[in-house]
């Protein structure tokens, strides 16, 4: 941007208002301005500029040269605790420096020129742009404006004293009066701006401060956004307090979320709820108990109070000497004590969790070990039992002579037990295949109705005496139901469920049903319902896992194998006790097609 104005008091050719861009142009313009000034320079600068002015060598020199030429320099800025040292240095290069609270304008005037650097907000560096003007009337206006500000400002010396008075010296003060200690603690908590850290020596110290109102003040501080953490030994009352506080924070947060907070509800809350940061209270382990309680506020002040008599009800009687300090080393020592205790609790919690996990693992290993032993016992029993009649009767038969017909009973016993061994061996091999993930299905489309009917025919033939005791019904509305899968394996599942139903019912009714859940569903459900003793509630959760059996006979593999077969077909198997309280129903689903 470039613009020109005319003025009557300077030659027409020299009258101008211009903007210069780029750091180099800006600095050159400023240096030219300083060397042009003859009688006075008035600078009005925000609080960031004094440091820039003293650190930029060229500008600093320009001030010095102008002053040495006899130019009277007045400097107006906001003196703060952060720029006070730069302002003091600046005073050596100017005639007078004054403070004006909150001044944000940036311009510099001589008797004939005006300069206004355009700074980027809060960025402390040379302005990237500067506006220049030498139109007399404008310069005069700005001079008037500067004078108004100047007259309102206070002297630098006055401001320096004010700031330095606030920058207290380090102190450590011993306080003997418990009431004074208590009042000081309250004041510190109320004035806390960022953080409150507390270590209580005993749980009673916590209770005493709860009664005295200190804890309430800490909670109020958290509602102002102050972060607060307390370490204290825990007893049942502290535990309850922490739980209730948790609940309160939840309700306050809800009221914040709902934006229902109104001034007339103030009493329900400990303070204005702008941003609630939860008060964190953690237990110190008993062996970490200290004999002093410590309050640290904003990492600036510490108050350490000795415990004189923990049996007293009130703080004034329980507390001994207190040391109050703002010394950086004292306060930071207390902060690090607090932090290391706090972190120690983290480590302790992690250790406890690790121990818990280890215990769970040990318990799992123990269960696994027990299951394995149980399996060895059961497998041993089931494998050895059928061998006994085979061994005994073959011994007998080998000593007999004559017609084999008269020993037909022995031969069928041998045959039956050999078959029993065969089934057991197949089950064990199936489990080995399942576990090795090598169970192969010979899938094809087959008629499930025909498969179940054929299975029942064989079952009745093979278990002639058994079947007489039971009534086995097959209910199905469909003449044929085609599914895709391994017919033998699916028959094995139905067979297993039927075996179980017979094993656990005495003389009952067993109903096998084949249905669709709904008309549109693509899954068939095969169920085997018995009216026996039902499923033991202890067994129910691990019914389909290996070695689960309540029977004196059987190895507990049938349902595990069935589940694996059904799932390999994309189906699901489940069991439930019947609603009428008699017996159980085992069901599995199968998809209709590929």
Partner 1 sequence: MSKRILIVDDEADINTALREILESNGFTVNTFENPRLALDNFKPYFYDLLILDIKMPEMSGFSFYREIKKLDDKMKVCILTAAEIKYGEYSDILSSLPDNCIIQKPVTSEDLLKIIYKVIQCNLK
Count of residues binding partner 1 (CB under 8 A)?
28
The reply on whether position 225 binds partner 1 by CB under 8 A is: no
Alpha carbon 126 to its chain centroid, in Å, reads 45
Question: Among 139-147, 229-237, 289-297, 369-377, which window interacts with partner 1 (CB under 8 A)?
Answer: 369-377
367 binds partner 1 (CB under 8 A): no
Interaction pattern, residues 372-391, with partner 1; x per rule: CB under 8 A: -xx-xx--xxxxxxxxxxxx
The verdict on 393 binding partner 1 (CB under 8 A) reads yes
CB 178 within 8 Å of CB 205: no
Alpha helices (H) in 464-516, listed in sequence order: 464-469, 487-504
Identity of the residue, 362 or 376, whose beta carbon is nearer to partner 1 in the bound complex = 376
Q: Output 362 or 418, the one with its CB closest to partner 1.
A: 418
Give per-residue burial for 136-156: e unless 16+ CB within 10 Å, then b.
eeebeebbeebeeebeebeeb
In angstroms, give the least distance from the CB of 374 to partner 1: 8
Q: Which pair of structure tokens corresponds to residue 519?
A: 């008309």
Residue 328 or 384 with smaller CB distance to partner 1: 384
CB of 417: closest distance to partner 1 in angstroms? 6
CB nearer partner 1, residue 128 or residue 554? 554
Residue 17 CB burial class (10 angstroms; 0-12, 13-18, ≥19): middle
Nearest distance from C-beta of residue 378 to partner 1, angstroms: 8
Phi, psi of 397 (to 5 degrees): -60, -35
Which CB, 137 or 373, lies closer to partner 1?
Answer: 373
Among 413, 450, 466, 568, binds partner 1 (CB under 8 A): 413
Q: Which is nearer to partner 1, 245 or 393 (by Cβ)?
A: 393
Question: Cβ closer to partner 1: 386 or 485?
Answer: 386
- For residue 281, what is the enclosing H or E element? strand 280-284
Q: Which is nearer to partner 1, 399 or 438 (CB)?
A: 399
Length of the chain: 594
- CA–CA dist 171, 192 (Å, integer): 19
Query: Taking the C-alpha atoms of 499, 501, 503 and 507 in order, what is their torsion angle to the nearest 10 degrees?
Result: -120
Q: State the DSSP string of 115-143.
A: EEEEPPTT--S--SEEEEE--HHHHHHHH
DSSP 377-436: HHHHHHHHHHHHHHHHHHHHHHH--S-GGGGHHHHHHHHHHHHHHHHHHHHHHHHHHHHT
One of 60, 216, 416, 463 touching partner 1 (CB under 8 A): 416
399 makes contact with partner 1 (CB under 8 A): yes
Instruction: Select the span of 117-125, 320-328, 370-378, 452-460 touching partner 1 (CB under 8 A).
Output: 370-378
**122 φψ region: left (φ > 0), alpha (ψ -120 to 50), beta (else):** left
**Residue carrying the six token digits 């509602």:** 223
According to CB under 8 A, which residues from 550 to 589 bind partner 1?
551-552
> Please, which residue, 425 or 551, has the CB nearer to partner 1?
551
Task: Please pick, from the candidates 57, 257, 263, 395, the single residue that binds partner 1 as defined by CB under 8 A.
Answer: 395
Binding to partner 1 (CB under 8 A) within 198-217 occurs at none
Find the angle CA(353)-CA(354)-CA(357) to the nearest 5 degrees. Answer: 85
What residues make contact with partner 1 under the rule CB under 8 A?
373-374, 376-377, 380-393, 395-396, 399, 409-410, 413, 416-417, 551-552
């Amino acid at each position: 941007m470039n613009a020109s104005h005319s003025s009557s008091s300077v030659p027409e050719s020299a009258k101008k208002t211009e903007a210069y861009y780029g750091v180099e142009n800006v600095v050159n313009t400023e240096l030219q301005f300083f060397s042009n000034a003859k009688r006075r320079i008035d600078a009005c600068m925000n609080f960031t500029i004094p440091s820039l002015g003293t650190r930029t060598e060229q500008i600093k020199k320009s001030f010095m040269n102008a002053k040495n030429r006899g130019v009277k320099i007045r400097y107006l800025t906001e003196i703060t605790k952060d720029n006070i040292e730069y302002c003091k240095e600046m005073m050596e290069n100017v005639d007078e420096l004054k403070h004006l609270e909150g001044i944000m304008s940036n311009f510099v005037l001589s008797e004939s020129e005006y300069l206004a650097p355009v700074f980027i907000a809060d960025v402390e560096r040379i302005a990237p742009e500067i506006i220049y003007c030498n139109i007399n009337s404008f310069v005069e206006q700005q001079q008037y404006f500067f004078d108004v500000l100047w007259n309102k400002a206070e002297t630098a010396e006055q401001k320096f004293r004010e700031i330095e008075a606030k920058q207290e010296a380090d102190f450590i003060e011993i306080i003997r009066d418990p009431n004074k200690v208590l009042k000081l603690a309250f004041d510190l908590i109320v004035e806390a701006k960022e953080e409150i850290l507390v270590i209580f020596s005993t749980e009673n110290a916590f209770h005493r401060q709860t009664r005295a109102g200190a804890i309430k003040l800490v909670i109020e501080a958290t509602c102002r956004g102050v972060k607060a953490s307390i370490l204290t030994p825990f007893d049942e009352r502290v535990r309850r307090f922490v739980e209730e506080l948790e609940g309160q924070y939840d309700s306050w947060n809800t009221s914040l979320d709902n934006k229902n907070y109104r001034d007339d509800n103030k009493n329900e809350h400990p303070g204005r709820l702008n941003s609630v940061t939860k008060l964190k209270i953690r237990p110190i382990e008993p062996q970490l108990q200290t004999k002093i309680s410590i309050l640290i506020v904003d990492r600036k002040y510490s108050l350490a109070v000795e415990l004189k008599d923990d049996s007293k009800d009130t703080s004034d009687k329980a507390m001994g000497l207190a040391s109050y300090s703002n010394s950086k080393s004292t306060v930071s020592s207390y902060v690090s004590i607090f932090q290391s205790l706090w972190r120690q609790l983290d480590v302790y919690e992690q250790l406890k969790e690790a121990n818990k996990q280890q215990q769970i693992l040990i318990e799992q290993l123990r269960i696994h070990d027990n299951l394995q032993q149980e399996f060895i016992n059961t497998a041993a029993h089931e494998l050895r039992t059928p061998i006994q009649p085979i061994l005994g009767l073959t011994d007998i038969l080998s000593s007999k002579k004559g017609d084999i017909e008269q020993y037909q009973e022995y031969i069928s016993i041998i045959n039956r037990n050999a078959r029993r061994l065969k089934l057991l061996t197949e089950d064990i091999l199936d489990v080995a295949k399942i576990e090795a993930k090598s169970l192969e299905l010979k899938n094809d489309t087959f008629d499930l109705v025909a498969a179940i009917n054929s299975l029942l025919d064989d079952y009745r033939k093979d278990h002639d005496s058994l079947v007489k005791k039971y009534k086995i019904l097959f209910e199905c509305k469909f003449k044929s139901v085609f599914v895709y899968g391994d017919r033998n394996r699916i028959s094995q599942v139905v067979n297993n469920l039927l075996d179980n139903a017979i094993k656990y019912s005495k003389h009952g009714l067993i109903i096998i049903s084949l249905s669709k859940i709904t008309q549109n569903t693509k899954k068939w459900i095969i169920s085997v319902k018995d009216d026996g003793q039902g499923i033991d509630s202890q067994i129910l959760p691990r019914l389909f896992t290996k070695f689960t059996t309540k029977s004196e006979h059987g190895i507990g593999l049938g349902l595990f194998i069935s589940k694996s077969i059904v799932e390999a077909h994309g189906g699901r198997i489940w069991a439930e006790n019947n609603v009428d309280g008699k017996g159980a129903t085992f069901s599995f689903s199968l998809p209709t097609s590929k």
